[in-house]
Amino acid sequence: MNSATVRNLLVRGMLAGLGAGLLALVVAYLLGEPRVDAAISLEEGHSHGAGGGHEHEVEVVSRGLQSTAGLATGVLVYGVAFGGILALAYCFALGRVGRFGPRATAALMAASGLVAVYLVPFFKYPANPPAVGDPDTIGKRTALYGLMMLLSVLLAIATVIAGKRLAPVLGNWWATVVALAGFGVAVGLAYAFLPSVNEVGHDFPATLLWQFRVSSVSIQLVLWTAFGLLFGELAQRLLAPAARSARQQGAKAAASAV
């Protein structure tokens, strides 16, 4: 793949990331922010009850600004960076993970990324609302989450390599089944050996915790799905005409030789 194609795919990836970020922003505002507000209200109620005449801390950035302009800026900037990184990964994966077209490769990469980058770490260390968690352990929790994400991505890459190596022996179907089974076993071992973190208080409402985690998954699901569809379409429009032109030129050359 030449540098011009990589550059064009990078630009399209960032645009697709921006579009996916806009959709994720809508979901975050409608589903996520009300749960965050409820958790903050609950935390403030507990602090007032425990501290009595405790003075309010001065907010550097108001909650209203955080939930509107701050949220939009964070999600959209993240979406653009997210799209650029995935576009570069797509340039490497195209043609190396199987005989898939540009659109199918984008969909497969988005689905695999959602599982490896988000869902696998999430099921071990699920997201918690602001009122949950000990501030003194945030460094430890962040490190464990990052380690689980890194292990998941490495295992996903190893799964693809193993599937390709097994395909000539077992066939595509059984090679895929065996490779995915190996991925599941390896993830299960990682779950078992990595320490668990459970800092949810017994007095925190289970419904609110469930709704917050569902909204977190929904945001990521919309982000990855929208990116896979948008970028797949943009990549198809860029790469399919080039591939078709190359095939036509090859056919003309063959006909001339005959």
Cα within 13 Å of Cα(158), Cβ side: 13
* pLDDT tens for each residue of 176-195: 999 999 999 999 999 999 99
* pLDDT tens for each residue of 225-257: 999 999 999 999 998 865 554 455 544 555 555
* pLDDT tens for each residue of 50-61: 554 444 555 666
Cα separation, 153 vs 223, in Å, equals 18
Buried b (16+ CB within 10 A) or exposed e, 76-86: beebbebbbeb
What per-residue confidence (pLDDT) applies to 61? 65
| Tokens at 150, concatenated | 């890194």
Average pLDDT, the chain: 85
| Tokens at 192, concatenated | 């078992």
Residue 90 vs residue 130, higher pLDDT: 90
Work out the burial of residue 105: count CB atoms within 10 Å of its CB; fewer than 13 is exposed, 13-18 middle, 19 or more buried: buried
Cα separation, 63 vs 86, in Å, equals 32
Q: Enumerate long-range contacts of 58-61, CB under 8 Å, 24 or more apart.
A: none
Using alpha carbons, select from 195, 113, 179, 184 the residue that is nearest to residue 149. Answer: 113
What per-residue confidence (pLDDT) applies to 258? 47
Cβ atoms of 37 and 228 within 8 Å: the answer is no
What per-residue confidence (pLDDT) applies to 217? 95
Judge whether residue 154 has pLDDT over 60: yes
Judge whether residue 98 has pLDDT over 90: no
Q: Report the predicted TM-score, pTM, of the whole model to 2 decimal places.
A: 0.85
Per-residue pLDDT, averaged over 80-89, amounts to 94
* pLDDT tens for each residue of 124-150: 999 888 777 777 788 888 899 999 999
What per-residue confidence (pLDDT) applies to 155? 95
Cβ atoms of 17 and 82 within 8 Å: the answer is yes
